[in-house]
């Protein structure tokens, strides 16, 4: 796959913390219930921690009790899905469409009308709260 933003691993390492690099560039996963964005108050947007592209809004966020921030939809065109057969099971990995950063996975078990649960690592995203 090619992306609008292409950088070497060394360039990404210079820009990202080691923890963020592990998730966004090496598809690591943060421990459940430890992410800073699991519980968010207010209105705002969630952007890619690698390139700043808008991915989700607080209106799309819901409490799934799975241990990671969960969303029932994404900004149009912001996410690329690909098969992930690691950990001995089939899943759908989600990547930022602009920089290819690993965000998490999407599952077809969401409780809202979309039926989707975008399960995202807090370290993969930033939260921009709207000012009142």
CA distance 60 to 72: 5
Catalytic residue, chosen from 74, 96, 99, 119, is 119
The CA angle 78-82-87, to the nearest 5 degrees, is 125
74 belongs to the catalytic site: no
For the chain, helix, strand, coil in percent to 5 are 20, 30, 50
Contact between 46 and 56 (Cβ < 8 Å): yes
DSSP state of 48: E
Q: 3-class secondary structure for 58-80? A: HHHEECCCCCCCEECCCCCCCEE
Catalytic positions are: 119
């Amino acid at each position: 796959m090619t992306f609008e933003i292409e950088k070497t691993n060394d360039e990404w390492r210079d820009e990202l913390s080691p923890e963020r690099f592990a998730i966004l560039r090496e598809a690591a996963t943060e421990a459940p219930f430890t992410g800073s964005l699991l519980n968010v108050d207010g209105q705002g947007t969630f952007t890619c921690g690698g390139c700043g592209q808008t991915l989700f809004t607080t209106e799309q966020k819901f409490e799934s009790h799975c241990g990671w921030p969960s969303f029932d939809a994404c900004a149009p065109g912001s996410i690329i899905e690909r098969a992930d057969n690691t950990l001995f099971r089939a899943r759908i990995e989600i990547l930022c469409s602009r920089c290819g950063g690993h965000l998490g996975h999407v599952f077809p078990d969401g409780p809202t009308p979309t039926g989707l649960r975008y399960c995202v690592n807090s370290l993969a995203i930033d939260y921009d709260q709207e000012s009142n």
